[in-house]
């Protein structure tokens, strides 16, 4: 039995049998092409949120579909008891194009961050310093929804309902170097940061701040973990966001856009940091399986291809969007700030506009975004979006804001 084209039945089953943690909008999609998604009635919607920064190559990418289909026809899963050539290839590519020497694969961003947390603590344990086990993270950060990663997340709303929380985390104001420097002590093993805080409103880190943090970590002999679950794999116009800051981390985490929609996570690290885990210390049943890695290899090949010019497209369309959205802010007086980098953009409105209501209005006009907090919407479209398509979104937003002034 398939209910793919029966939205009412799907909604009924969802409300009756699915755990109510997502509260989905009353809409479903049957297929997609490029930046567009189509519902059962054939209406199309521009996917300006890209599966929350996941669908990096858009929908229906021919090369990705072929890679997934071909691999699925051969072998979907074996286990980590054996060599997995697709995983080996992906590890080589990610390390070759980053600071890293080693890679570990899992299934999500939260799992990648769990691996990073364990590695940082294990690093000092194996050095004979088990007391160095505290990690400093930023207030308003988001690192996942597992018990350890909600503890790492600098937002109480994610932690309070699930207390007691995993110990060993301290929180400091984002972009406040003086506060961070004061907090580092003999128990600190790592600083863990997002370079753009996506889930709290798309707030970028200051370049000077990040460089100061890196310098502090080197001087104090602690590890720097950069969470690039949302910003990695071309999202900010470079393959990795840390490249925009002219620093290198000791550990980096990836997920979301790495396999274009197939679940995968990755934790990358230097050889030195890698001493924090020994054989048997960590693992993942599904992590790095042939299907996910075949998809990720295909995505990565396309993003770094000089023929595809995807990173150039990200930068060009990003410049266009920032220019037009800032013009719209001046013209309407309804936009307080446009923030972000590349194709990760937050649009904060004044108090007359609620983000949830704007998300609904945009959906009614055929554009999908996410809402964050009371007044900000987030854009994270596929990296292949064209300037013409971006202009369609800006024009739709302008019409809504114009109507709101009346």
CATH of 75-304, one of 3.40.50.720, 3.40.50.300, 1.10.10.60, 3.40.640.10: 3.40.640.10
Predicted local confidence at residue 1, as pLDDT: 59
Give per-residue pLDDT as tens, 324-357. Answer: 999 999 999 999 999 999 999 999 999 999 999 9
**How many C-beta atoms lie closer than 10 Å to residue 66's C-beta?**
11
Catalytically annotated residue among 118, 132, 214, 256: 256
Which entry of 99, 105, 142, 240 is annotated as an active-site residue?
142
Question: Measuring CA to CA, which residue among 264, 259, 268 is closest to residue 64?
Answer: 259
Has 47 been annotated as catalytic? no
Q: Is it true that domain 7-61+309-404 has CATH number 3.90.1150.10?
A: yes
Which residue of the set 227, 359, 367, 393 is catalytic? 227
According to the model, what pLDDT value does residue 406 have? 52
- The domain spans of the chain are 7-61+309-404, 75-304
Residue 4 has pLDDT above 80, yes or no: no
Is the pLDDT score of 251 beyond 90? Answer: yes
Confidence of residue 5 (pLDDT cuts 50, 70, 90): confident
Q: What pLDDT is recorded for position 6?
A: 82
**Count of other CB atoms within 10 angstroms of residue 130:** 12
Does the annotation count 393 as an active-site position? no
For residue 99, indicate whether it is catalytic: no
């Amino acid at each position: 039995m398939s209910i793919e084209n029966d939205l009412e039945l799907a909604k009924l089953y969802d409300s009756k049998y699915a755990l109510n943690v997502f509260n989905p909008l009353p809409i479903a999609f049957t297929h997609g092409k490029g930046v567009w998604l189509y519902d059962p009635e054939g209406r199309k919607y521009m996917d300006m949120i890209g599966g929350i920064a996941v669908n990096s190559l858009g929908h229906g990418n021919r090369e990705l579909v072929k890679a997934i289909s071909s691999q699925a026809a051969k072998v979907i899963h074996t286990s980590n008891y054996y060599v997995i050539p697709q995983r080996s290839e992906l590890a080589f590519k990610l390390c070759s194009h980053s600071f890293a020497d080693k890679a570990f694969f899992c299934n999500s961003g939260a799992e990648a961050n769990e691996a990073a947390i364990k590695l940082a603590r294990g690093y000092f344990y194996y050095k004979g310093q088990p007391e160095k086990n505290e990690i400093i993270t930023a207030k308003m950060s988001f690192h996942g929804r597992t018990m350890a990663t909600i503890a790492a997340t600098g937002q109480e709303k994610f932690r309070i309902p699930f207390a007691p929380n995993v110990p060993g985390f301290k929180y400091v104001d984002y972009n406040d170097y003086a506060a961070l420097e004061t907090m580092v002590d003999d128990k600190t093993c790592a600083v863990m940061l997002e370079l753009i805080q996506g889930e709290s409103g798309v707030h970028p880190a200051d370049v000077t701040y990040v460089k100061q943090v890196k310098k502090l970590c080197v001087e104090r002999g602690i590890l720097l973990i950069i969470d690039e679950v949302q910003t990695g794999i071309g999202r900010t116009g470079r393959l990795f966001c840390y490249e925009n800051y002219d620093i290198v981390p000791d550990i980096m985490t990836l997920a979301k856009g790495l396999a274009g929609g197939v679940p995968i996570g990755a934790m990358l690290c230097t050889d030195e940091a890698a001493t924090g885990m020994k054989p048997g210390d960590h693992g993942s049943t599904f992590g790095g399986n042939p299907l996910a890695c075949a998809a990720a290899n295909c995505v990565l090949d396309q993003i770094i291809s000089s023929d595809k010019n995807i990173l150039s497209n990200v930068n060009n369309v990003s410049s266009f969007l920032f220019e037009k959205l800032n013009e719209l802010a001046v013209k309407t007086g309804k936009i307080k700030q446009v923030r972000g980098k590349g194709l990760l953009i937050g649009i904060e409105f004044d108090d007359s506009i609620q983000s949830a209501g704007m998300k609904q209005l945009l959906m009614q006009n055929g554009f999908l975004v996410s809402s964050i907090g009371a007044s900000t919407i987030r854009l994270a479209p596929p990296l292949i979006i064209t300037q013409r398509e971006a202009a369609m979104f800006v024009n739709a937003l302008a019409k809504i804001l114009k109507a709101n002034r009346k």
